[in-house]
Amino acid sequence: MEKTTTKSQFQMTKTQPQGDARTELINMMNDALALEHAARIQYLAHAQVISGLAAEPVIDRIKEIAGDEEEHAEKFREMIGTYLGGVPTMCIAETQCPGTIDEILKVNLDIERTSVEFYATILEKIHDLKPQLKYEYYQLEHQMRHIVIDEEEHIAELSLLLG
């Protein structure tokens, strides 16, 4: 059973637990993967519409963050497919197209903060499932922790760009 929840100006599909905690974790990671797909597209599109005297460093940083989001997507695909035996989604969460540099930075900052909160719940779920993830736990925990750390870095960098 699926329901769509709007969260911080973009949509995520949350799948109800189906009695299997591993399936629930796969579903959560697929929701995160859809967010990462959207984030990369959004950052690259935003980099093309930014203009003005202060645009160049913002464009460079946004393109770099887009590359980070692609790496996160690859990590989610690997965790879902290789370690959990699931099927990685090809869905894309909703994107935003604000107009000014400040609006672009604020929208992306909000999405990064929401992502950190959501990814922290995935990390908690991994910790809760440690006994069931006998040979996957450390890899999943390590990859997820690094994704959260990267997203926190994006928050710091976008905050600095906003001033």
Q: Which residues pair with 5 in a beta bridge?
A: 12
pTM value is: 0.87
DSSP 61: H
Please report the pLDDT score of residue 54 as a whole number. Answer: 83
Task: Say whether pLDDT at 132 is over 50.
Answer: yes
Please tell me the predicted confidence (pLDDT) of residue 111. Answer: 97
Task: Answer with the residue of higher pLDDT: 58 or 8.
Answer: 58
Region 60-85 average pLDDT: 97
- Per residue in 80-103, pLDDT (tens digit) is 999 999 999 999 999 998 989 999
- As a whole number, the mean pLDDT across the chain is 89
Q: With 0-12 CB in 10 A as exposed, 13-18 as middle and 19+ as buried, what is 1?
A: exposed
Residue 114's contacts (CB-CB under 8 Å, 6 or more residues apart) are 7, 8
* Residues 104/48, Cβ–Cβ less than 8 Å: no
Which domains does the chain carry?
Answer: 20-162 (1.20.1260.10)
Alpha-carbon gap, residue 38 to 115, rounded angstroms: 12
Q: What share of the chain is helix, strand, coil (3-state, %, to 5)?
A: 70, 5, 20
pLDDT 10s digits, 10-65: 334 444 333 499 999 999 999 999 999 999 999 999 999 999 888 999 999 999 99
Environment class of 112 (CB within 10 Å of its CB; exposed 0-12, middle 13-18, buried 19+): buried
Percentage with pLDDT > 90 across the chain: 83
